[in-house]
Amino acid sequence: MIARAAREIAPGMVVNLGIGLPTKVVDHLPSGFPFCLHSENGMTGIGPSLPAERADRNLIDAGGAYVSPIPGSAFFDSAMSFALVRSGRLDLTMLGAFEVAQNGDLANWKIPGKFSPGAGGAIELAQKARRVVVLTTHTDRAGKPKLVEGCTLPLTALGCVGRIYTDMAVIDVTPEGFALREIAEGLDPDQVIAATGAPLVLPQGDLPTF
């Protein structure tokens, strides 16, 4: 799933990867792949994470991981960082999700009464990145679908999600709702349909696997 999602990243893109699963995407890009990773605190050109003993105490990404610079890295303040996001320079963001609705609404920052640490930069990333894809398990820990007809949790941004990568499938958000594009090897579409909380449009022809 993460390897498949890595193919979202095209040469030349400016990309922001959310904390958790999305951060791992970069491990699946070939060495020398030309793209620019952005972090909310104020950095572009992010190199590999470093273990504590080799870390620079002043150099972290927005998730708090100690990262390294690469030739061409830039440091700037957090206002500049979000100027880049809101003004349309961010080609792609990959985010986690609690719920994605069939119209592309995203909820990923608050579960009232249980989890309300604040949204950090998620609202601006989701609302303003040119393309928003979600990386998530297909269902939550209780087995409840994360892909739903309408979000019940507080929204991060409306109609923002273009595509969802899960452990079961690759699904696009289309004007007709969720469209199944690819399926994990060894699964059949009925299993994906059963684990999805909204109607799923199946392709006419082949269903590629990943």
Interaction site with another protein (CB under 8 A): 39-43, 52, 55-62, 64, 66, 69, 75-79, 81-83, 85-86, 116-121, 123-124, 127-128, 154-158
Selected catalytic residue, list 8, 40, 99, 182: 40
**By C-alpha distance, which of 16, 12, 6, 9 is closest to 129?**
16
CB 156 within 8 A of CB 174: no
Lookup: tokens for 2: 């993460």
CB 77 within 8 A of CB 84: no
> Considering the complex, what minimum distance in angstroms separates the CB of residue 73 from another protein?
9
Phi, psi (degrees; rounded to nearest 5) at 125? -60, -50
> Considering the complex, what minimum distance in angstroms separates the CB of residue 82 from another protein?
2
- Residue among 57 and 141 whose Cβ is closer to another protein: 57
> Considering the complex, what minimum distance in angstroms separates the CB of residue 83 from another protein?
8
- Residue among 106 and 171 whose Cβ is closer to another protein: 106
Which amino acid, 45?
G
40 catalytic? Reply is yes
- Residue among 23 and 156 whose Cβ is closer to another protein: 156
What's the number of CA atoms in the CB half-sphere (13 Å) around residue 176? 8
Residues with catalytic function: 40
